[in-house]
Amino acid sequence: MNNSGYEIDFIPVDSGTKNGDAITMRVHENGITKIYVIDGGTKVTGQKVVDHIKEYYHTEHVDYLINTHPDLDHISGLTVVLEQLEVGEIWMHKPWEHAHKIIDDIIDNRVTVNSLTNRIQDSLKIAKEINDTAIKRNIKVFEPFQGKQIGHFKVLSPKMDWYVELIKGFNNMPPSETKTFATESSRQLSEAIDTIFENWNIETLSEDGQTSDKNESSVVLYGRIPNLQMLLTGDAGLQALTKAYDYSITQGINLKSCSFMQIPHHGGRRNISPSLLNKLIGPILLVNSPLTKVAYVNTSKDCPEHPKKSVSNAYQRRGVKVYATNGSIKCKYWGFEPRKGWTSATPIGFYNQVEK
């Protein structure tokens, strides 16, 4: 191993046709190693994460345990990591601690701060369980809001004030004066399954995608590690990623310099747009231009419709090779020896028929 290096692993989350996220990372810089876990998938995935860290990172210590947002397919496995490994810091949002900030907007005047706090805790039992376990074990829990530094990563989104607004739209929240409740599931059900033609110069990806408030609350991370800059997105949507981009400009961060990135929400087409990709990555390249950047996307092997073809095409047009887990671990590394028995992955090809 060199004096510096990294290994970034996207652990597959296979729970039928449902996708999830689990990312582990080993960063070695100037003789110091830091271990990251960013989301843990399901509990089955969480055990895979633990086993992976022990086998390939040769440690039972995690420096930073990060949850992007409290969807079960992202947070459940973190309980297993917390049970079986030593954890330095936990970074996750605690929406129940912000109940007092939104109580005045709740339409039902019978709802109190205490009852709203309990309601949020009941709807996010695993997040509350992780927080309670951390308190018992004297592990510090920090909320990852815009501007916070988590080891090699800076939080680009969400800003605290906006996060508080998003809480109002979480599942099982009482109606408030400033929220409507179109759910993500209803939007997904309305998606057509017909196909339409694309080529390098014809792009059909929409500009007006929408996702749930919980997804928009996802932590967006800019990472700078030895020999690599990266953007990790969780399930963030157009609003969150636009806010992340705008904030990056104020911080002198050029996201176009990121040569590695996560495709948001498992490659769903409601979370990204052509104009936003132009900002985050760059404009469409000429046909047959080399693809010099890399994007990973965590998809279940039983969910062939993800990533959406229009999404993977959009990344490729802008010079990005796209790799999907599709049931197997994907590892990007530098400065470490290749793992014995591992082979090179094949990127997704360009499609001429995409979802309409």
Write out pLDDT tens, residues 323-338.
999 989 999 999 999 9
- Give the model's pLDDT for residue 193: 63
CATH number of the domain to which 82 belongs: 3.60.15.10
> How far, in Å, are 219, 234, 259 from residue 330 at the CA level?
21, 16, 16
Alpha-carbon Rg for the chain in angstroms: 20
- Specify the higher pLDDT residue, 185 or 132: 132
> How far, in Å, are 8, 28, 227, 250, 324 from residue 5 at the CA level?
10, 5, 8, 29, 23
**For the chain, what is the total number of helices (H) and then of strands (E)?**
11, 16
Q: Which single residue is written with the structure tokens 């911080």?
A: 251
As a whole number, mean pLDDT of residues 227-252 equals 98
In tens, the pLDDT along 6-21 reads 999 999 987 666 788 9
pTM recorded for the entire structure: 0.94
As a whole number, mean pLDDT of residues 299-309 equals 82
- Confidence band for 303, pLDDT divided at 50, 70 and 90: low
* Domain residue limits at 254: 5-355
Taking 80 as the threshold, does the pLDDT of residue 103 lie above it? Answer: yes
- Give the model's pLDDT for residue 109: 87
In tens, the pLDDT along 77-97 reads 999 999 999 999 999 999 999
As a whole number, mean pLDDT of residues 100-120 equals 93
In tens, the pLDDT along 156-211 reads 999 999 999 999 999 889 888 766 444 444 344 444 468 999 999 999 999 999 99
| Residue-averaged pLDDT of the chain | 93
- Give the model's pLDDT for residue 110: 93
- Specify the higher pLDDT residue, 108 or 151: 151
Please give the Cα distance from 132 to 130 (Å, whole number): 5
Question: Coil, strand or helix: which one is 303?
Answer: coil
For residue 236, give both structure tokens: 């963030």
As a whole number, mean pLDDT of residues 271-293 equals 98
Number of folded domains in the chain? Answer: 1
In tens, the pLDDT along 259-275 reads 999 999 999 999 999 99
As a whole number, mean pLDDT of residues 35-43 equals 97
Asked if residues 220 and 240 have their Cβ atoms less than 8 Å apart, the reply is yes
For residue 213, give both structure tokens: 């408030």
As a whole number, mean pLDDT of residues 292-311 equals 89
